[in-house]
Amino acid sequence: MTRQRLVVANWKMNGSLEANAAWAEGWMRLERPACEAAVCAPFVYLAQMKPLLAQAGLGLGAQNVSQHAAGAYTGEVSAQMLVDAGVEWVIIGHSERRTLFGETNAVVASKVKAALAAGLKPIVCVGETLQERESSQTLRVVEEQLGAVISEVGAKALASCAVAYEPVWAIGTGKSATPEIAQHVHAALRDAVARFDVETARQLRILYGGSVKPSNAAELFAQPDIDGGLIGGAALKSEDFHAICAA
């Protein structure tokens, strides 16, 4: 089956009213790529980006969500609030959230559950550290990370998600995984889902993330189980993000 390609920008904690508007203006000057694409912006810029991205043919995403529905959780943003803001996608379990903000597999799983309950589409991030890779723990780690989500929401719920394989050692380092390394993990993740539900596994879009650039996107996206990308640094320039989408 052919899965529609999906390319998602993760702006992280970057941007300003002026820079974001310039990004959208730059994007609009370029031809619309054939793939589905979305931009995950910081919370405070969601309202600004909603009409700009709609005009540009791009989806709107957030970078985090609370696992709680409402109440005394100072500084948190609920899934329903994201829906109110017109958000479609939400990145959950990015390695920066896991390592810098202590998000465990259980927390990530409960965030996915909350997002799905509100009708959002989670982009579930998994990935191993360099130390885990060097000690041959990669597949165990990523399958455990995804397994925690499957235990919480069931494999069929992944039909409303995308999974992003992002090796921690490749994020923001300029050192992407080779297409072969990435394909190996993507295929293993798809197999892991297939053990629960073959049809969901066939339809699931598994994105690669970690130092994707215009120069290496095509060879990564040519792999049979790589269905697109989650793009950090290179997504801050609309021309580079566009070149990756075109690839």
Under the criterion CB under 6 A, does residue 172 sit at the interface with ligand PEP?
A: yes
Amino acid occupying residue 211: S
Under the criterion CB under 6 A, does residue 231 sit at the interface with ligand PEP?
A: yes
CB 164, CB 38: distance < 8 Å: no
Near ligand PEP in 70-109, by CB under 6 A:
94
Active site residue 18: no
Please work out the total of residues on this chain that contact ligand PEP, with binding judged by CB under 6 A: 14
- Annotated catalytic residue, options 128, 166, 186, 242: 166
Under the criterion CB under 6 A, does residue 20 sit at the interface with ligand PEP?
A: no
Element (H, E) at 125: strand 121-126
Token pair for residue 18?
């002026």
Phi, psi at 59, each rounded to 5°:
-80, 160
Under the criterion CB under 6 A, does residue 212 sit at the interface with ligand PEP?
A: yes
Stretch that binds ligand PEP, among 19-27, 52-60, 217-225, 232-240 (CB under 6 A): 232-240
- 131-148 core/surface letters (b: 16 or more CB in 10 A; e: else): ebbeeeebbebbbebbbb
Residue 88 or 196 with smaller CB distance to ligand PEP: 88
- 43-61 core/surface letters (b: 16 or more CB in 10 A; e: else): eebbebbeebbeebebbbb
Residue from the set 166, 197, 227, 240 that interacts with ligand PEP by CB under 6 A: 166
Binding residues (CB under 6 A) for ligand PEP: these are 10, 94, 166, 171-172, 209-212, 230-234
Residues serving a catalytic function are 94, 166
